[in-house]
Every structure is written in structure tokens, then in C-alpha cells.
Structure 1
Amino acid sequence: MDTQRSLFFCLCLLVAQSVSAETPTTLLNLMKRLEKPVGRALSSRGSHRNIHHLEQMLLNASFCGHNLTLQTNSIQSLVFKLDCDFSGLSLSSTTLANVSQARAPHAMQFPAELTKDACVTSRPAELRLICIYFFTAQQFQDDSNSSLLNNYVLGAQLDHRPVNNLQKPINISFWHNQSLEGHTVTCVFWKEGASEHGWGSWSPEGCYTELPSPSLVLCRCNHLTYFAVLMQLSGDPVPAGLQMPLEYISLVGCSVSIVASLLTMLLYAHSRKQSDSVTRIHVNLHGSVLLLNVTFLLSSQMALPTVPKAVCTALAAALHYALLSCLTWMAIEGCNLYLLLGRVYNVYIHRYLLKLCVLGWGFPALLVLLLLAIKSSVYGPCVISFSNSQDNGTGFQNVSMCWVSSPIVHSVLVMGYGGLTSLFNLVVLAWALWILCRLRMREKALSPWAYRDTAMVLGLTVLLGTTWALAFFSFSVFLLPQLFLFTVFNSLYGFFLFLWFCSHRCYSDAEAKAEMEAVSSSQMTH
């Protein structure tokens, strides 16, 4: 037995010497080659090949023991031998050997679920987990020359197989001593083939950003690849103390609006004027508001790393569709109001309501489906940052929701579309008020009409959704008042429409009752 053990150790020693003489030298040379700065075009193509070559060599390297560590000036490579009884692994730069203490600390934590899929069909004798840490970002330059926290890129790969959609996320910790004031930090991964000129770009899909302390960014991701923390200049910061009040207002307001929209649609269904096109336009507007509130409440609950990417993408697309539909039906209300007030005797449109439904529901669906067909990655987790400046001024607290993740699409199909709708309805509202004032100027006694005119103006303002124009005042001293006014008015939009319906219904009933009394009195006179 002792002889066999001695032979085994001798064999391991020979293998270790062989590896020490050849394999580590080749790997170190390749790692040093990756460190050399080259031109951008050559860097994109060369880095792609060299990094994949390094991965393959690490996966196939032979060594004695359970792990292998290689270190150059700016790259560190780790190889671990795992099996199907894997119970998890925690790596920290404070415990790893040969790590310069001058570098900012970092850590990676892998769950036991990591090897589950690899061991379902078979139980391989050995699995390789490789970790490659880049302490410079020159190998991962995207088209935007994005800035990364500490310039760190931490990567991991399990054997020759992809690891996706983990139920328990991989935790990647980035410590730093930088001030994040004026910046938004987002956990991202390197997505190959997602760039025109480089070999990839940064994407937040499948990653959730947390800031447990002012000096730590924690990334929770449901897949294995290369990870980093993207630093972007943010607009005017929102204090983190406002996060809970705004979330509470949104939750209560949207819940009230959902109930109000459902109740209004039921009352419209039992209305005596079901064939009236104006009534049916109102019903469609309520339907779009109902869909918008429901998808909005769900979107913040589905932007978690444990939720499959397809679910968040579908919900983000549904939320975008609901918003576009709601804005379109607001514009239709404005157009219909113009036809009623301005050209009441001169217009007839064949199948008017059907054409409006195709426009109000079909056009937004066409835009969203077109985006999904061209590039579905425009939808996904979107990070909203709240400044922690009151807590020693050192960072941000992030909140994620399923929404439009592309800045270009957000600018064109959210802000642009909403801006045109708000502008059109503001013009219609001003024109309607001008007609109202002109009519009242012909009346000698204005006081009896004052209350009804005020209620009509407020009702038209709600009906046309002009409060959405508040979204364009989110800057400078207007930011905080705009946030609260926009959140209150637009989360309760369905409730305000319900009040408009009730007042309009009461006024119609009063008019009908007055007409009946007038008819009955004239009949008694005759």
C-alpha cells in the first residue's frame, strides 16, 4: 500500500514538473500577449481569438491537485476540478494567492446548482470550472467606449457547456473606493456578436444590481460569462429617500385605477347608449388604461435574476404596447372631440369605430412586434437609480423593472411618441377652451355657467391625458415636484376617468330629466 502511494506521489510530481515546464509557460505567454496594447480593429479580432484560445487551453490543461492558479500583471486565471457532488464555491481576492493587495477586492460565489444540468444526463468523473479575471478593460472595448468600475472584468466558464437560467444566481462582488456621485452603475455581461465594429457589447440581461454598501456593488446573474459594472453619467439624481413614497403612491394609485377602470367598463356595458361611438371610444381608452396599470405593477416584480429572460422580455413588450395603446387612444379622444365640436354637421366616416380600433390597438402592436422581430434585446431589465448622497454621498440604490432597455427606442417610441400625443391633445384642449369661451361671451350672465365650465375644463384635461406632458419637466428644480405630480396624476388616471364618467352620466341624466319635464309640461298646457 505504501509502495502504491509513493508511486502515485511520484507520478503527480512528474506531471507537475512537466506542467510547470510546458503548460503554464504556454498559458502565461498567451496571457502576456493579451496584455499588449494594439490597434482597435486588431484588438477586437485578436482579443476574441486569444481569449477563446486561453479558455480552451485552461479547460484542457493537465495538473496535479484540485486547482491551478496563473498570474500576470493584469490577468489572473484559475482552474478548479469539480464533480457532481459540488456544494458551492466562494472565491475572494483576499484569500486567493498571488493577488496584489493594491488591486480593489473582488469575489465570486457559485451555487451548488452550477453543475446540476451537466450531471442530469450523465455523471462525468470531472468537471472544469475556469475563472479569468481581467484587471484592465482593453480586451472588452465596445462601440461606445464604456467606462467600467475599477476597469475589472471577471469571467467564468464551466467545462465546454453554457450555463444559463440558474434559479439561484451567481454573486459577483466589486469593492471600490470611488465616488459614484453623478453616475449610474449597472451590472452587465459581455455579449458576443452584439456590436458592429467590435466583437461584442455590454448587456444587463439576466443580471440584477444591488448596492449593499457605499463601497460595494453586488451583481446577481443567472448565467456564466464575463461580468463587469458599467458606469454611466446619470441625469439629475433622485434622493433614495423618495423611493419608498413613490413606489407606495404608484402601487396605491395603479390599484385604485384598476378597480375604477373595471367598474367604469361594467357601467358602460349596462349603459343605455351602448351604440354611441363616443361611449365606445371611452370604453377602449379605459381598456388601455387597465392594461397599462396591470403590466406596470407586474413589471417591477419580474425584473429579477431568478426570472427567465423570456418572461421579462415579454412583460416589457406588453408594457410598452399598453403605453403606446393608451397614448394612441388619448389622441383618438382628441381627434374625436375636434370632429364633434368643429365639424359636427360635415363629417361621416364609414365604419368609424372599426377604423379607430385598428388604429388604437393595431398600430401599437405592429410597432412592438416589429421591434421584437428586429431585435428583441431592446426589451428587458431596466435600472432606475436613486442617489444615496444623503448617506455620506457615496453611491446609488438601483431598482429594476422590465421595460425598454434601448436608449434609442426609449427616446423615439416612448418620449417622442408621447410628446407628439401630448402636444396634439394640448392644442385640441386649447382650441376647445377657445370655443367654450367664445360661446360664453355671447351669454350675458356668466356666473351660472362658471362651475359647469370649470368641471368641463378639468374633465377634458383628464380625458385628453394632458398630464402626461409633465414627463418633459424632469430636470433641474422641476424634477422633484414633477416626479410626485406625474406619479399621482398618472397612476390615478383611471380613477379620474371614472370621476369624469360619473359627472358626465349625472349631467346626462339631469338633462334627460329636464327634457322629460319640459315635454310633460307642454303636453299639459295643450
Structure 2
Amino acid sequence: MEVMDSVTFRDLYIDECQGPSPADCGPHTNCANVPGSYYCTCIVGYKPSSGKAKFTHASENSCHDIDECQGPSPADCGPHANCASVPGSYYCTCVVGYEPSSGKSKFTHASENSCQDINECNKTPDICGPKTMCINTNGSYRCECLAGYVPSNGNTTLCKVPSIISSVQFVAIKETFRNFSLQGKRSSENSNFSSFFNSTFGFLLSTFGDGNATLSLENATLPFNSVLNSTSPWDSGDKWEVGSAVTVLLQSVELAALATALRSPERTKQNMMTESLAIQTRLVTGNCSQHSEVFTLSAHEETMDVRCDTITGTATQAGVGAAAFISYSTLDSIISARRLSEGNLPAGGKLEKSHLNSRVVSGAIGDGRPINLSIPANFTLRHKQAKKEEEEARCIYWKVVAENGSWSEDGCTTVYTNSTHTTCSCDLLSSFAILMAPTAVTESYPLTIITYVGLTLSLLCLFLAILTFRLCRSIRNVSTSLHLQLCLCLFLADLLFLTAVTRPGSQVRPDSPLLLACAVIAGLLHYLFLACFSWMFLEGLHLFLTVRNLQVVNYTSANRFKKRFMYPFGYGFPALVVAISAAVNPGGYGTSTHCWLSLDRGFRWSFMGPVCAIILINITFFVLTLWILRNRLSSLNADVSTLRDHRLVTFKAIAQLFILGCSWILGLLQVGPAAAVMAYLFTIFNSLQGAFIFLVHCLLNRQVTEEYRRWIRGFRTSSTKSQMSDLSMSAVPTTSTKME
């Protein structure tokens, strides 16, 4: 018993973990002593390789580090944080661009800390560099150039003003100078122009010398003022020299103005005025808030209206665009119409009577290159002298061809004019002016008298023809129905032409209701005259089918078929043409001078095209009809009077086609020396169309004249009976007489 107690007592005091020969549990372990024995376990942050939680020697097991960041239950560090595993433990840190809210750089759970965005723009104000703005983003930031500046070599921390030093226009000016210099003879004979070119390029080189320097509009353009004030280069040069010099001057001033606008981003609008020129520039930065936004630039008393997206759309750098508008005080006397004009301006005597009647203005956007605009820009120019009634205001622009320039009308339309101003709509940007020329077609007094007398007579004849076709039952058939519809359309067209305002006048503004009414009148005239030709086409078709079917015993079904479709075609086809024309070019109806189709963009062919097609088709019908009458029916034992009647009807239809159709063709021939003769023929034939129809289809129609005779005899008989009745009544004594 004592021995047993002694052994137990001794065992209780033996500690295998701390004895002279402690147990070998291995690294990263704990040794735990128990009565009579011991065991090993892995410390916190480690796990046994064999999976046994307890062991007695390192040879049985080993402890490996636990990866708390990647384990089956990873540590919850929270958003915008990284988990870092260390031997036996882990810690959390905020990712780049975020900082801990508590200030502790390391933590072990999201509940201890949270990571919030670092505002680098506030923390380091100059982080992006000069001429830039810092924009904070989640976890980072970005740099953008200030409005009016662009990145330098793609680096947004280095921003500069846009440069147009490599402009195609600038290269073209250098080429012009080179070509001028190659003219050795001219250059040696006229030193004034050599001096002009050298000084002009000196001005440009000084302007573009430092691509990043901020320019002053006055400093950039003031040197050109001395060139404009000097008279020696302009007076001593020939047409080629003056044209080249003017081209270089205009393009140089435009480039200098645009460069000034682009290099002064702090000033979105700049103005400058001297005794020789006035300039206004506009810098547009960013996207246009509204696609329909229009900028108006003004210089002197002239204005230019251009859309915002037009300016930014042509910019060399996205979102940055510039526009310049220049008005020259004295340049119109240098480039007069008689000295520098292109072949399509008024020729001969009209050119001698033409003169520039406004300042020369220039409009430029982008980098100064000539550009065609998808949406035209409007220029309003003030007349230097009041416009006379017999004058026509024409919008012209400076057209550059082969380093030389001249006036041209292509691409510009006069949309409004009065005695003091003219508004031009141009689909390109260049230099512009107003040319006063004699009216293209003088509305002479004889033509006016012919028009009114002829239309009045035609209206009367058409009215009688309509009554005849409507009331004369003996001649009612498909042909008279077609004649009736033709007369109705022509009567309404002539009446509208005679009574409507066909000349709105020069005092009417572009947005005036009178111009809208004029466009409606033009559309109605377009429809009614096309309807006349539609019914003429149906007349030719009916005549051809009738002659072709003379051999058929019963062809009433064919007549019913024609009646069923002739009204939809007669009135539907012109409506379709007018609808398509109005949809394609709604501005083609009505101008500031006439309520008819505009001559721009070939819009008159929306009328002349169908007319020419119908004339050609009807001529084909009539030729075939005559051929059938001559060949096929000549061998038949048909009624000779029937053949004679059809021949007569055919010749009448051909004559009608000639008078109604060819008269409009004469309108296309009013050019050249014979323009006046064609104008008289056109007026006479068109104004007497109604009288001719009444003559052919009524007075020369045997059945109609017989009906007229019956009507006249009936009227005379009725009048005689009325007179006899009056006489008999007067012979009867009154009651009072009898009483007496």
C-alpha cells in the first residue's frame, strides 16, 4: 500500500512537457501535461498535417500555417480591403485609393474598421498639373484639360491650347505664295505684290510662332489693317495678281482669327474693330447642349448664324471648336464685280450694270479649311445703297480655284431681301458679298398686259366649255368627260394664278405668313397644272384604245374599266408627285419673288419631268393611232365618216398637246439671245390655252355648234314669244277703262 501510494505520488509530479527531457512536439505546437502522460496540439493559426488534433511526438504529425484569407471561411475584411496571411495569423489593409476610417492601417475584421475613398484632388490640389482639372473617382482620380485646352502628346497632365499650325489651309497659302514667286516676270515687274506676300507671311509666321502662347486678337489681326489701307498693291496689279493677293489676305485673316480664338480659352467671345475690318470670334467647348442651338456672330452691321454642332463637328480636337466672322470696310472696292468675276455671273451689259452693294464678309470654323455644310449657315448683310425696285440682290461668294479667286453664286441662295438688307443661305463657308444686278427677267408692261388679257379670255372660254360639256347631253361620252375635267383643272389653275399674290415682295421676312401662303399657292399650282397633263394623258390613252377597239363589236366593258380608274389616276397621280416633292424639298415651293417652284437644286423638274414624260407618251399614242387609222382600218369596210371623225379627233388631240405641252417647254428655252422672244411666246401660248381648248373642242365640233344653233333658235323663239305676249297683254283694256 505504501509502495503504491509512493508511485502514484511520484507520477503526479512528473511533467513530460517541462522535465529534463521534454517531449518533442515539433514547431508551432503546445505540449499539455496530463496525469501519467502528455499530448501535443498545434497552436492557434496552425493545423495538424495528419488531421489528428492530439499527438505525442513530432514524428506523428506536423503543424502547418492556416491561410485565413483563402480558407473555407475566409476572413471578413469588408469592401475595398485586402487580406494578408502571416504565419499563424492574418491582417486586413485598405486597397490603394482608400483609407481606414479609424486610422488603423491594419485590422482583422470589417467590424473593426471600414475603408473609405481617398479624395486625391483635395489631398493634393496640384496632382494634375497646370491648365487641368482633377476629377475624383472611387478609389482613384482622373485629369482633364480645362475648357479650351487639349492634351499634349496624349498626356493629360500637360495641356496646351489647340494649334492649327499644320492646317491644310495654311499649306495652301504657302503654295499660293510659291506659285506667285515662280512667276519671275510678274514678280520682277511688280515689287508691290512681292512685298505684300512677304509681309503677309511674316504676319502669319509671327502669329503661329509659339504654338502655346496666348494670342491677342488685336495683335494677331492689326498688321493686316495696314495692308487693307494700302492702295499701291491693289491698283497696280492685274486680275491674276489681285485675285491671288485677295485669296491670301482673306485666308490669312481667317487663320489668324481662328488661332486667336483657340489660344484664348478663357475668353469664349472676342471682338475687335479697326477702320478697315471688324472681327468677332466664338470658342465652343464641350458638347452642344442642344443640337438646334444656333450662335449668332456679328461684325459691323452684318451677322452670321451657324449651328453649335457645326462648329464642334469640324473641330480638330473633340469638344473644342472655334468660329470667326470678319467684316471688311473697304475690301468691296478692291474686288469689284467687274474686275473679278466668274463666268456664271451676269454677263454682257448686265455685268456692266452690276455692282457690289455690301461689305465683304468672311465666315470660318474649325481650322479655316473650306467645308461644305450639311445644314446651311445664314448671313445677313446690309446694303451700302438702298436696293432699287428694278434690281435683284444676288448672294455671291469668293470661290478659290488653283490658288486664285473670283466671285461665284454656286451654293448660295437669297432667302430674304428688302431695301436695306439681304439674307443669304449658304452650304459652304467662305467670303461673301451682295451683288446688285438688273432683274433677270424684266416683267415688262407688254407681258403683263398679255398675261392679264389672255388669262381673262381663257377663263371666259373655259367657263363656256365647262357649261357646254356639262349641259350638252347629245355629246356626253367618255371623251367629253375627260375634256370637262381638263377644263376644270385649267380653269382653277388660271384663276388662282390670276388672282393670287404671285410676288410676295421684297419687304416680306423669311418667317412671314405671306411666304407660307405663297408656298401653299405654289403647291396648288403645281398640283393643278400636273392634273391638266394627267387628264391629257388619259385623253391620249382613251383615243388610242378607242381606235384600237373599233373592230370589237362590244367594248362597253372597256369603257367602264376606263371610267373606273381615270378619276383616281387623273387626280391621284399629281397628288402623289406633289407629296413626294414636298417631302424631299419642302423649301422648294415659293420664293421671295414668285409663288412657283424654286429653281434651286433642279426642283423645277418635279413639274417638268412628269410633263415631258406625258408629252412623250402621248406622242407615242398619237403616232400609233394615226398608224392604225391609216393601215389597219383602211382595208376594212368601215364607215368612212367614222374614220374621218377619228382622224379629226386625233389631230385635235395632237394640236391640244402641242399648245398645252410645248408652251411649258418654251419656259426652259428662256436663255441666251432669244430669251426675250421665248418669254413672249411662253406668255402668249400659256395665257391663251383656255381659248384654244374652247375653239378646238367646242367651236370646231359639228355636234356642239348644232347644239349652239338649237339653243340660239330656242332663245330667239322664247324671246319672240315673250314679246308677242307683252304686245297682246298691252292690247287688252284695263278694268278702269271698261268702266269709263
- Range of TM-score over shorter length: 0.5 to 0.7
- In 1, the alpha carbon distance for the partners of 2:536 and 2:675 equals 25
What one-letter code is carried by the residue in structure 2 that aligns with 1:302?
Answer: P
Of 612, 618, 623, 1:419 maps to: 612
Change (3 A) 1:314 1:55: farther
In the TM superposition, 1:13-412 aligns within 5 A as 28=218, 37=251, 57=269, 70-71=273-274, 74-75=277-278, 100-101=329-330, 103-104=332-333, 135-136=361-362, 143=372, 155=380, 172-174=382-384, 186=394, 202-207=412-417, 219=421, 240=442, 243-272=444-473, 276-297=477-498, 298=500, 300-302=502-504, 304-306=506-508, 308=513, 309-345=515-551, 348=558, 350-381=560-591, 400-412=593-605
1:403-454: CA deviations, max 9, x gaps? 22253443532232222222223333444455566679999xx9xx999978
- In 1, the alpha carbon distance for the partners of 2:544 and 2:462 equals 25
1:220–1:305 Cα contact (<8 Å) kept:
no
1:254–1:492 Cα contact (<8 Å) kept:
yes
1:76–1:134 Cα contact (<8 Å) kept:
no
Change (3 A) 1:479 1:301: closer
2:519–2:589 Cα contact (<8 Å) kept:
yes
Change (3 A) 1:276 1:100: closer
- In 1, the alpha carbon distance for the partners of 2:268 and 2:460 equals 58
Change (3 A) 1:510 1:265: closer
> Hey, what does 1:500 align to over in structure 2?
696
Residue 493 (structure 1) shift: 0.6
- In 1, the alpha carbon distance for the partners of 2:267 and 2:634 equals 80
- In 2, the alpha carbon distance for the partners of 1:491 and 1:54 equals 65
1:461–1:467 Cα contact (<8 Å) kept:
no
Change (3 A) 1:274 1:470: same
Secondary structure of the equivalent of 1:75? strand
What one-letter code is carried by the residue in structure 2 that aligns with 1:243?
Answer: S
- When structure 1 is superposed on structure 2, of 358-367 and 503-512 the one drifting more is 503-512
What one-letter code is carried by the residue in structure 2 that aligns with 1:135?
Answer: V
Secondary structure of the equivalent of 1:323? helix
1:222–1:305 Cα contact (<8 Å) kept:
no
Give % identity.
Answer: 20
What one-letter code is carried by the residue in structure 1 that aligns with 2:530?
Answer: L
In the TM superposition, 1:420-439 aligns within 5 A as 420-434=613-627
> Hey, what does 2:193 align to over in structure 1?
none
1:300–1:402 Cα contact (<8 Å) kept:
yes
Residue 261 (structure 1) shift: 1.8
What one-letter code is carried by the residue in structure 2 that aligns with 1:491?
Answer: S
Whether 1:467 aligns to 2:656 is no
1:302-355: CA deviations, max 9, x gaps? 355435331122122222222222222222221112112223455616542342
1:185-205: CA deviations, max 9, x gaps? 53599xxxxxxxxxxx74433
- In 1, the alpha carbon distance for the partners of 2:223 and 2:563 equals 68
- In 2, the alpha carbon distance for the partners of 1:406 and 1:270 equals 42
Q: Relative contact order (alpha carbons < 8 A, sep ≥ 6): 1 or 2 greater?
A: 1
- In 2, the alpha carbon distance for the partners of 1:471 and 1:103 equals 35
1:31–1:72 Cα contact (<8 Å) kept:
no
- In 2, the alpha carbon distance for the partners of 1:248 and 1:451 equals 38
2:395–2:414 Cα contact (<8 Å) kept:
yes
- In 1, the alpha carbon distance for the partners of 2:267 and 2:482 equals 60
- In 2, the alpha carbon distance for the partners of 1:244 and 1:381 equals 22
What one-letter code is carried by the residue in structure 2 that aligns with 1:422?
Answer: I
- In 2, the alpha carbon distance for the partners of 1:185 and 1:314 equals 24
Change (3 A) 1:230 1:323: farther
1:300–1:401 Cα contact (<8 Å) kept:
yes
> Hey, what does 1:488 align to over in structure 2?
684
- When structure 1 is superposed on structure 2, of 325-334 and 496-505 the one drifting more is 496-505
Change (3 A) 1:375 1:460: closer
Residue 489 (structure 1) shift: 1.4
- In 1, the alpha carbon distance for the partners of 2:689 and 2:266 equals 57
Structure 1 vs Structure 2 CA RMSD: 5.6
What one-letter code is carried by the residue in structure 1 that aligns with 2:581?
Answer: L
- In 1, the alpha carbon distance for the partners of 2:647 and 2:700 equals 13
1:74–1:135 Cα contact (<8 Å) kept:
no
TM-score (norm 2): 0.39
Change (3 A) 1:359 1:27: farther
- When structure 1 is superposed on structure 2, of 136-145 and 340-349 the one drifting more is 136-145
What one-letter code is carried by the residue in structure 1 that aligns with 2:273?
Answer: L
- In 2, the alpha carbon distance for the partners of 1:276 and 1:452 equals 14
2:548–2:628 Cα contact (<8 Å) kept:
no
1:379–1:404 Cα contact (<8 Å) kept:
yes
1:258-286: CA deviations, max 9, x gaps? 22222322232212158622211111111
> Hey, what does 2:140 align to over in structure 1?
none
1:303–1:381 Cα contact (<8 Å) kept:
no
Secondary structure of the equivalent of 1:302? coil
Gapped regions of structure 1 (runs ≥ 5): 1-24, 62-68, 78-89, 93-97, 106-131, 146-152, 157-171, 177-182, 190-200, 211-217, 383-399, 514-526
1:74-119: CA deviations, max 9, x gaps? 4356xxxxxxxxxxxx979xxxxx98556449xxxxxxxxxxxxxx
Secondary structure of the equivalent of 2:465? helix
Residue 370 (structure 1) shift: 2.6
Secondary structure of the equivalent of 2:415? coil
2:395–2:424 Cα contact (<8 Å) kept:
no
Secondary structure of the equivalent of 1:300? coil
> Hey, what does 2:342 align to over in structure 1?
none
What one-letter code is carried by the residue in structure 2 that aligns with 1:461?
Answer: A
What one-letter code is carried by the residue in structure 2 that aligns with 1:363?
Answer: F
Instruction: Give the length in aligned residue pairs.
Output: 360
Residue 473 (structure 1) shift: 4.3
1:316–1:403 Cα contact (<8 Å) kept:
yes
Residue 252 (structure 1) shift: 2.0
- In 2, the alpha carbon distance for the partners of 1:91 and 1:239 equals 31
